[in-house]
Amino acid sequence: MYVSTPPKFGQTIAPHSRPRQDFRRAAPQTRSLAEGAHLFHEGDAARSLYIVNTGILRLIRYQENGQRRVLGFCYPGDAAGFPLDGRHAADCEAVVPAQVAILKSNGLQAGSIHPRLQQKLLDAALQEISCMQDHFMTLGRKSATQKLASFLLLCADRIGRPLGGCTHFDLPMPRRDIADYLGLTPETVSRAFTQLRNMKALMLDHIYTVVLLDRALLESLSEDAD
């Protein structure tokens, strides 16, 4: 019932519901990342934008006191590495082995790139903004169980696969990541999992394999704040 490391993600991940940009023509180059390998660090000059092909990335920022915060996860199809003033504003690591497409973007600041590519970049950035806004709704004034429910529904949309009438997926990240993403402690995340299990909203086959039993229940949880 216990596994100390998240499951290895294969190269096959289900398509996701959201519309997203197709950068294949613009980015023939790819790069493979081992589990835990970093793609870039905070402060690095941003020479490229990356599109996740397979695997999952996490964006991390540390505070002065060393506290870690997970700003977001990048699933296949997502863009990572949006620069600010030509620099990356966060660390980016592979949660599981991943492959990313590389978009050379020296001109991303200079305006020297192809208009159609720029259009795709803008659309990707707008998508990112919308996605972050959704996350804001999750972070403020919600209980731990509600936050976890929201997070799991998001996971289901992005990496869920059907399993006998239900949706299931392998959580690629450890509890610590989820906690730092939701603004909780790992202990509280664990307790929230237990609570959702007791409510029969989900099952945990391993600790990293989630089977959603009652999606409606999770949705009503994530929506109602009391």
Partner DNA sequence: CGCGGTCTTGAGGTATCTCAATTGGAGTGG
Partner DNA sequence: CCACTCCAATTGAGATACCTCAAGACCGCG
Residue 139 binds what, of its own copies, DNA, none (CB under 5 to 8 Å, by partner type)? Answer: its own copies
CB 79 → DNA: shortest distance, Å?
Answer: 27
Residue 83 binds what, of DNA, its own copies, none (CB under 5 to 8 Å, by partner type)? Answer: its own copies
> How far is residue 171's CA from residue 70's CA, in Å, rounded to a whole number?
15
Per the CB < 8 A criterion, the answer to whether 158 and 75 are in contact is yes
> How far is residue 203's CA from residue 42's CA, in Å, rounded to a whole number?
37
Which residues are CB-neighbours of 151 under 8 A, at least 6 positions away? 138, 178, 181, 182
3-state SS of 110-172?
Answer: CCCCCHHHHHHHHHHHHHHHHHHHHHHHHHCCCCHHHHHHHHHHHHHHHHCEEECCEEEEECC
Helix (H, G, I), strand (E, B) or coil at 22: coil
Q: What is the DSSP letter of 222?
A: H
Q: Which is nearer to DNA, 17 or 63 (CB)?
A: 63
Q: Which is nearer to its own copies, 153 or 184 (CB)?
A: 184
Binding mask 195-214 for DNA (x = CB under 7 A): ---------x--x-------
Q: Which is nearer to its own copies, 13 or 60 (CB)?
A: 60
Per the CB < 8 A criterion, the answer to whether 102 and 30 are in contact is yes
CB 139 → its own copies: shortest distance, Å?
Answer: 5
184 near DNA, judged by CB under 7 A: yes
Interface residues toward its own copies, by CB under 8 A? 19, 61, 63-65, 67, 69, 71, 82-85, 89-90, 108-109, 111, 115-116, 118-119, 121-123, 125-130, 132-133, 135-137, 139-141, 180, 182-184, 223-226
DSSP 3-state percent helix, strand, coil across the chain (nearest 5): 35, 25, 40
168 near DNA, judged by CB under 7 A: no
Residue 25 binds what, of its own copies, DNA, none (CB under 5 to 8 Å, by partner type)? Answer: none
Residues lying near DNA in the complex (CB under 7 A) are found at 1-6, 141, 143-145, 174-176, 183-191, 193-194, 204, 207, 226
